[in-house]
Amino acid sequence: RGDYHLFYLKDFRGTKPGIEGIPWHHVSTRDFVSFTDHGVALPQGSSDEQDLYVFTGSVMEHDGTFHIFYTGHNPRFPKVDKPAQAILHATSRDLITWSKQPSEVLSADPGRYEVNDWRDPFVFYNPEAGEHWMLVAARLNRGPSNRRGCIALAASDDLKRWEVRDPFWAPGLCAVHECPDLFRWGRWWYLVYSTFTERFLTQYRMSRCLSGPWRAPVNDSFDGRAFYAAKTAGDGRRRFAFGWNATRAGDSDEGEWQWGGSLVVHEIAQSRSGALGARMPPEIGRIFRHNVDLLPRPR
């Protein structure tokens, strides 16, 4: 119907004392100005379940069923020899009511990857391979610690059983490549991810094919320090990046950067060379109807 459905991690920021964990909430919008709040999509699990913290994932549709693949994070688990993070699955017929599939758990292959860094699954159908692919933010289990970040690959023909494979992309650049996202636009594939080690940014790489090579444009980011964890969605004509604008402690420009913040929507623009840029969607720009003169004021 032209609606965009946005699923996000709800951080209560201490407003619910004594309650541990993070759920997914759900809103929808048609114009990025007015939003419908659908409430909780995925509640957090109990303290002895994998998804005490419902962390980042992705939503896709296949044969009339909607699927969420998401990160279950429980910081207690390593103390009892269980991985802190695993990929979990939930399904829905209407995008509103979701059923978790507790028997379906995908953990990292310890022969290739670190078991406690295994998150942010992005699932899509690869018609060339004839199977579903899952990209996962992961770390290799060997090499310099600050350069083990990679995007792992798993494959499935039924969205239930997954084969973990060698990395989809392992550039040896930094410690982590969070929130991977992938889309095709014209002749180019774009791989989007976020980093908080060398630079705190949402970045992208581009390639003519999924097997690479993935090249970096001159400007490889959509925005600055405050825009993070962006995922994209489009309707075949336009594409948007949905990320959070980080808050700062004390609501002050001088306050420390905080993890998380408020939604920011950028429209992605593609140049003739294939490089991407970001701009304000006109739907948002149209609500600013009054000019305000910004004049310096002496103290």
How far CA 197 is from CA of 1, 78, 207, 218, 257, in Å, comes to: 39, 23, 24, 20, 14
Worst-scoring range by mean pLDDT, 125-134, 143-152, 194-203? 194-203
* Cα separation, 214 vs 205, whole angstroms: 6
pLDDT of res. 89: 98
pTM above 0.75, yes or no: yes
- Print the SS3 string covering 46-111: CCCCCCCEEEEEEEEEECCEEEEEEEEECCCHHHHCCCCEEEEEEEECCCCCCEEEEEEEECCCCC
For residue 198, pLDDT beyond 80: no
pLDDT in tens, 241-265: 999 999 999 999 999 999 999 999 9
pLDDT of res. 1: 61
* Cα separation, 12 vs 23, whole angstroms: 10
108 touches 115 (CB < 8 A):
yes
